[in-house]
Amino acid sequence: MNELELPPIDYAALAPILIMMGAAVVGVLVEAFVPRRLRHPVQLPLALLAVLAALTMVVLNADKRMITIGVIAIDGPTLFLQGAILVLSAVALLLVGERAIERGGAFVAQAAITADSPDDRRQAANSPGAGEVYPLVTFAVGGMLIFVSANDLLTMFIALEVFSLPLYLLCALARRRRLLSQEAAMKYFLLGAYASAFFLFGLALIYGFTGGLADRAAGVDFATIHAAVADSTQSPVLLFAGMALVAIGLLFKAAAAPFHVWTPDVYQGAPTPVTGFMAACTKVAAFGALLRVFHVAFEGARWDFTPVLGSVAVLTMLIGAVLAVTQTDIKRLLAYSSIANAGYLLVGVLAPGREGLSGTMFYLVAYGFAVLAAFAVVTLVRDADGEATHLSRWAGLGRRSPVYASVFTFILLAFAGIPLTSGFISKFAVFGPALEGGQVWLVIAGVLTSMVLAFPYLRVVVMMWLSEPGESTPTVTVPGALTSAALVIGVLATLVLGVAPGPLLELATNAADFVR
Amino acid sequence: MSDFPFLSVLTVAPLVGAVVVALLPRSRPTLAKQVAFGWSLLVLVLSVVMWLTWQVGGDRFQFRESYPWIPNWGVNFTFAADGIALVMLMLIAVLVPLVILASWHDAESSKRSVPVYFALLLVLECTMIGVFAAADVFLFYVFFEVMLVPMYFLIGSYGGHQRQYAAVKFFLYSLVGGLFMLAAMIGLWVLGGKTFDWVALSQVDISTGAERWLFLGFFVAFAIKAPFFPFHTWLPDAGGAAPAGAAALLVGVLDKVGTFGIIRYCLPLFPDAAQWFAPWALAIAVIGIIYAALLAVGQNDLKRLVSYTSIAHFGFIGVGIFAFTTQAGTGAVLYMVNHGLATGLLFLVVGMLVARRGSALVSDFGGAGKLVPVLAGVLFFAGLASLALPGTAPFVSEFLVLIGTFTVNKPVAVIATLGIILAAAYVLWMVQRTTQGTLNPALTEIDGMKRDLNLREKVVVAPLIALIVLLGFYPKPVTDVINPAVQATMEDVGRTDPAPSIDSVQEAGR
């Protein structure tokens, strides 16, 4: 019997993942051993430092193109997306760490207390928020880093679980409106579990498909799948079924229709910093995985999956845009907007070649910054009862606090795709390659839904600027340094990526090569 | 001096001014107004210098500058002006200071920041100059869309009755058009070899089917912007709700972007499609002339009335463009300038009248000429200019459009001529009901109606009146600049003017 041979391990290439996971474990220990009042001052710098260290390692790895321990692909898209996740999660951590807006932050002290009981009201009023959000976020980020670099379906599945479980928990930790928050977490968890099951079942079918060939070993790594798709002479039923089920698992995370139903509830119920984190980072992770699966593993079946995924994209854009029109809650509105944006991103995924890939990656970064800034503003508009998210409460906000209303208007204009914002450039970045690849109908659907989607954004602008402030218009809380920093970063990035997108586009284009 | 980067400086200068004005304290509104006015005068001086530097009979595009912007997509900051753009830039530079002067007290009634109003006007000037000066399709699109934002806030924040509705309608209509153009622009970029440079794109051959779709994408955007029937419904709302100064810029300049875009982009880039669609375009233009004129006759709101007259005038411009003769084309471009002057003046005067009365309804006036004779006289003059009375500038352009069209398409020219009669009806009837006849007793009780034009208002109207008369008698300086550009455009389309036949000459000789 041969001695078991260990695969070669490149620790430097894995360093970002290892750092984040290590920091999460340390975070758990801090939670266990450090006195309560010191936990927050220790946890936040720890998490931020870990993100910075991981980011440094990503930058140092910039020229690496390899597959290490057989299952982790370190290549251009991986590094670009890992960098994006880390930068965006750093901004999200600033929002998570904010303690100045509300006593104890946006998170509950003890999630187990019965909602709406006297105990609950007491803790909502004055106890410091739970510190475990930091290790949870750190774990989630670590999982996302694996997710975008996974080079076989099994690793991808494990990464999916690693970053999903902390997110389910984070959703339940809102300090106020606890029932909504718990409902959101429950929904997200149940539907997420189904999605994972779909993914797993699809994985099994794909394994069966690759195993049907006599001359090669079965496997679920992307090279094997790619080869099997390329020269298979057997019936493609297993392949199509497996591909569909895997896609469902991924599209669920990406919030694409018809797997989007959780999105508005979860976005509304989750603590707003967590919503921002999900909208920015989970999107990047989910689309990173979609890109890799469809550009590497199933590339040979492009003609088969394009009509199906294209229909999903059209449906997603349509549902997101049309339902956004009817929303009266700003968080739900942003949720539907995020669904519509998933549709635009899918257009980018379906655009063949390097341009499509780099355009999608650019879109992810640009959207992440804008959406984080949007949710940062949402955390600021509040009254005695917490955030005032109903749209009617935003009437006349422009008169009360012109600066934040201007910032939010700018972000909305970016979402609407007005030039000189990142939103316009990113739309161009996905529509251009899609049109070049002959997907005219997708581009037309994208343009038409953009028109519809402009209306809800404009309605908010009208609310803020053109309506007179009512009695119930809340004031905008002066943000703490952390939220201010997150807001400034988000807005500046949106502006800079709109005015001078050249460098990031260049970076994305250079990174747009998968290692196979 | 001709190496001076006129166009980029002209584009950036108002923006800098806007930032300066916006940063002035709210408590010093007069200072903000003075700075804004001074700044716009500076822009005017610079434009006049540019006009003088222009070489008549020189290259088609002059003052060309190009700086890289997004190299991955072949996008550049390319500015260049042909004769058509040059006259439009001059029109902007002349109108903006006058509008600022005319809007001196407009922002005060709205309880909103006065400096911001004037800053928005300057931002608008920046985007308007940019859109005419751009010679890169991407850059043009950027200005085309960004232009909406300051206008949206000017209407929505400082407008009158129903301003929210009007602002949103304006924004959505324009955005819808813009998104069609975006799709067409991406298509053009893909088919044109990934460049946005106007010169390069105008030499690309595109298959017939694709060319027609792309033409439609651009045309719809421009037809909404202009606006042509049946895309016109936003203009009466926006024009009716906007403050008078902003409305003057809206119909005087902003809407010209549509017709300018057709001349600069639709015709040269998609010449075959333009010819194929020409009958349809002529049809909606002619319908627009008659339909809008009829609606104008029936309006009881002065600002909406003026907006409808503009739609009718845009019909004339459309006829001039799609007749494909040099005369008609020159007439159309000249019309764009003259309409900016005449309708701009009409809007400003109407604004002065409305500000005094506190109502824009025709039925609230009557015999106002007895109280404010000078103002009524100016309104009468502006009305006559608007109906293209010989001796005023619009006559020259309307005449050129009609004779240029008559040589190639008699029915269209004949029907369009009916529009002149209707124009007389709506203008004269409006003047009669507001300033002539017996005095409406309600007017005497309003203090504002006892004040005739003050010095500031006289300074506003005098240059416009002078220009309208001057260009009515001596349009040569403008036509000299326009003509070569129009001829070049007609060559791009591949149409030559019909040579006068021997028969018709002999007939004429008898």
pLDDT tens digits for B243-296?
888 888 888 888 889 999 999 988 888 888 888 999 999 999 999 999 999 998
pLDDT of res. B26: 79
Interface of A with B in 430-449 (CB under 8 A): 431-432, 435-436, 443-444, 447-448
The answer to whether residue B410 sits within a structural domain is yes
Name every chain B residue with its beta carbon within 8 A of the beta carbon of A418.
145-146, 148-149
The answer to whether residue B173 sits within a structural domain is no
Asked whether residue A252 carries a pLDDT value surpassing 90, the answer given is: yes
Nearest CA in chain B to A399: B112
The answer to whether residue B246 sits within a structural domain is no
Of A413, A466, A501, the CB nearest to B164: A466
- Are B186 and A451 an interchain contact pair (Cβ–Cβ within 8 Å)? no
The answer to whether residue B390 sits within a structural domain is yes
Q: Which domain holds residue B381?
A: 270-499
The answer to whether B276 and B324 have CB atoms below 8 angstroms apart is no
pLDDT of res. A67: 83
Phi-psi region of B408 (alpha: psi -120 to 50; beta: other; left: phi over 0): alpha
Question: Mutate which of A462, A497, A505 to disrupt the B interface (most B C-beta within 10 Å)?
Answer: A462
- In terms of Cβ atoms closer than 10 Å to its own Cβ (0-12, 13-18, 19+), residue A98 is buried
pLDDT of res. B285: 92
Chain A contact for B195 (CB, 8 A cutoff): no
* Domain boundaries along the sequence of chain A: 11-511
The answer to whether residue B116 sits within a structural domain is no
Nearest to B343 by CA among B282, B286, B392, B412: B392
- Are B72 and A505 an interchain contact pair (Cβ–Cβ within 8 Å)? yes
- Are A419 and B156 an interchain contact pair (Cβ–Cβ within 8 Å)? no
The answer to whether residue B283 sits within a structural domain is yes
Nearest to B469 by CA among B349, B341, B353: B341
- Are B72 and A458 an interchain contact pair (Cβ–Cβ within 8 Å)? no
| A314 pLDDT tier (thresholds 50, 70, 90) | very high
pLDDT of res. A214: 60
Containing A383, the helix (H) or strand (E) segment is strand A382-383
Question: Mutate which of A409, A451, A453, A507 to disrupt the B interface (most B C-beta within 10 Å)?
Answer: A451
pLDDT of res. B125: 92
Residue by residue, DSSP assigns A45-105 as HHHHHHHHHHHHHHHHTTT--EEETTTEEESHHHHHHHHHHHHHHHHHHHHHT--SSSTT-
Name every chain B residue with its beta carbon within 8 A of the beta carbon of A504.
none
Rounded Cα–Cα distance for residues B446 and B128 (Å):
38
Q: Which residues contact A443 (CB under 8 A, 6 or more apart)?
A: A347, A431, A434, A435, B183, B186
pLDDT of res. B506: 53
With vertex at residue B442, the alpha carbon angle to CA B441 and CA B448, rounded to the nearest 5 degrees, is 115
Chain A contact for B153 (CB, 8 A cutoff): yes
pLDDT of res. A507: 92
pLDDT of res. A95: 92
Nearest CA in chain A to B157: A466
- Are A420 and B146 an interchain contact pair (Cβ–Cβ within 8 Å)? yes
Chain A contact for B88 (CB, 8 A cutoff): no
pLDDT of res. A272: 92
| B440 pLDDT tier (thresholds 50, 70, 90) | confident
The answer to whether residue B46 sits within a structural domain is no
| Residue B6 DSSP SS3 | helix
- Are A455 and B187 an interchain contact pair (Cβ–Cβ within 8 Å)? no
Rounded Cα–Cα distance for residues B117 and B112 (Å):
8
- In terms of Cβ atoms closer than 10 Å to its own Cβ (0-12, 13-18, 19+), residue A471 is exposed
* Mean pLDDT of the region B416-439: 87
At A62-75, the pLDDT tens digits run 888 888 877 889 99
Taking the CA of residue A125 as centre, how many other CA atoms within 13 Å lie in the half-sphere pointing to its CB?
Answer: 7
At A10-63, the pLDDT tens digits run 888 899 999 999 999 999 999 989 888 888 889 999 999 999 999 999 999 888
Q: How many domains would you assign to chain B?
A: 1
Name every chain A residue with its beta carbon within 8 A of the beta carbon of B181.
none
C-alpha separations of A153 from A12, A79, A218, A397 in Å: 23, 19, 13, 48
| A279 pLDDT tier (thresholds 50, 70, 90) | very high
Is omega for the bond preceding B227 within 30 degrees of 0, making it cis?
yes
Higher pLDDT, B16 or A119: B16
Say which amino acid occupies B300.
Answer: N
Asked whether residue B507 carries a pLDDT value surpassing 70, the answer given is: no
Of B73, B142, B172, the CB nearest to A458: B172
Chain A contact for B347 (CB, 8 A cutoff): no
The answer to whether B37 and B110 have CB atoms below 8 angstroms apart is no
Tokens of A382: 């509040």
**Straight-line distance from the first to the last Cα atom of chain A, in angstroms, rounded to the nearest whole number:** 31
Higher pLDDT, A144 or B194: A144
Question: Average model confidence (pLDDT) for chain A?
Answer: 89
| A362 pLDDT tier (thresholds 50, 70, 90) | very high
Asked whether residue A310 carries a pLDDT value surpassing 90, the answer given is: yes
CB count within 10 Å of CB B494 equals 11
Rounded Cα–Cα distance for residues B100 and B460 (Å):
9
Residue in the block written with tokens 């739900």: A332
The answer to whether residue B386 sits within a structural domain is yes
- In terms of Cβ atoms closer than 10 Å to its own Cβ (0-12, 13-18, 19+), residue A237 is exposed
Asked whether residue B1 carries a pLDDT value surpassing 70, the answer given is: no
Q: Which residues contact B384 (CB under 8 A, 6 or more apart)?
A: B392, B427
Of A417, A424, A435, the CB nearest to B187: A435
Say which amino acid occupies B213.
Answer: W
Question: Mutate which of A317, A415, A427, A428 to disrupt the B interface (most B C-beta within 10 Å)?
Answer: A428
- In terms of Cβ atoms closer than 10 Å to its own Cβ (0-12, 13-18, 19+), residue A117 is exposed
Question: Mutate which of B157, B173, B179, B185 to disrupt the A interface (most A C-beta within 10 Å)?
Answer: B179
- Are B70 and A501 an interchain contact pair (Cβ–Cβ within 8 Å)? yes
* Mean pLDDT of the region A420-424: 91
DSSP structure class, residue A220: -
Nearest-Cα distance to chain A for B335, in Å, is 30
Asked whether residue A512 carries a pLDDT value surpassing 90, the answer given is: no
Identify the bridge partners of residue A381 per DSSP, sorted by sequence position. A476
Rounded Cα–Cα distance for residues A394 and B415 (Å):
52
Chain A to chain B, count of Cβ pairs less than 8 Å apart? 79
- Are A418 and B190 an interchain contact pair (Cβ–Cβ within 8 Å)? no
* Mean pLDDT of the region A419-445: 91
Asked whether residue B385 carries a pLDDT value surpassing 80, the answer given is: yes
Chain B contact for A505 (CB, 8 A cutoff): yes
- In terms of Cβ atoms closer than 10 Å to its own Cβ (0-12, 13-18, 19+), residue B46 is middle
Query: In the 3-class helix/strand/coil scheme, how is B402-450 assigned residue by residue?
Result: HHHHHCCCHHHHHHHHHHHHHHHHHHHHHHHHHHCCCCCHHHHCCHHHH
The answer to whether B288 and B315 have CB atoms below 8 angstroms apart is yes
Name every chain A residue with its beta carbon within 8 A of the beta carbon of B164.
462, 466-467
Residue in the block written with tokens 């007259």: B309
Higher pLDDT, A492 or B241: A492
ipTM reported for the complex, 2 dp: 0.88
- In terms of Cβ atoms closer than 10 Å to its own Cβ (0-12, 13-18, 19+), residue B133 is buried
Rounded Cα–Cα distance for residues A434 and A349 (Å):
9
Burial B348-366 (b: 16+ CB within 10 A, else e): bbbbbbbbbbebbebebbb
Name every chain B residue with its beta carbon within 8 A of the beta carbon of A356.
none
pLDDT of res. A213: 66
Nearest CA in chain B to A406: B153
Rounded Cα–Cα distance for residues B209 and B477 (Å):
41
- Are A458 and B186 an interchain contact pair (Cβ–Cβ within 8 Å)? no
At B17-65, the pLDDT tens digits run 899 888 888 788 888 888 889 999 999 999 999 988 888 878 888 888 8
Nearest to A93 by CA among A122, A121, A133: A133
- Are B156 and A413 an interchain contact pair (Cβ–Cβ within 8 Å)? no
Tokens of A454: 């402009």
Phi-psi region of A396 (alpha: psi -120 to 50; beta: other; left: phi over 0): left
With vertex at residue B498, the alpha carbon angle to CA B493 and CA B504, rounded to the nearest 5 degrees, is 165
* Mean pLDDT of the region B410-436: 88
- Are B168 and A462 an interchain contact pair (Cβ–Cβ within 8 Å)? yes
C-alpha separations of B169 from A159, A236, B165, B176 in Å: 47, 52, 6, 11
| B219 pLDDT tier (thresholds 50, 70, 90) | very high
* Mean pLDDT of the region A150-168: 93
| B110 pLDDT tier (thresholds 50, 70, 90) | low
- Are B189 and A424 an interchain contact pair (Cβ–Cβ within 8 Å)? no
| A2 pLDDT tier (thresholds 50, 70, 90) | low
Tokens of B441: 């007793």
Containing A382, the helix (H) or strand (E) segment is strand A382-383
Question: Mutate which of B112, B117, B190 to disrupt the A interface (most A C-beta within 10 Å)?
Answer: B190
Question: Average model confidence (pLDDT) for chain B?
Answer: 87
CB count within 10 Å of CB A472 equals 11
Asked whether residue A164 carries a pLDDT value surpassing 80, the answer given is: yes
Interface of A with B in 389-418 (CB under 8 A): 413, 416-418
pLDDT of res. A221: 87
Nearest to B420 by CA among B440, B443, B446, B394: B394
Tokens of A162: 């690693």
At A280-309, the pLDDT tens digits run 999 999 999 999 999 998 988 888 899 999
Containing B81, the helix (H) or strand (E) segment is strand B75-81
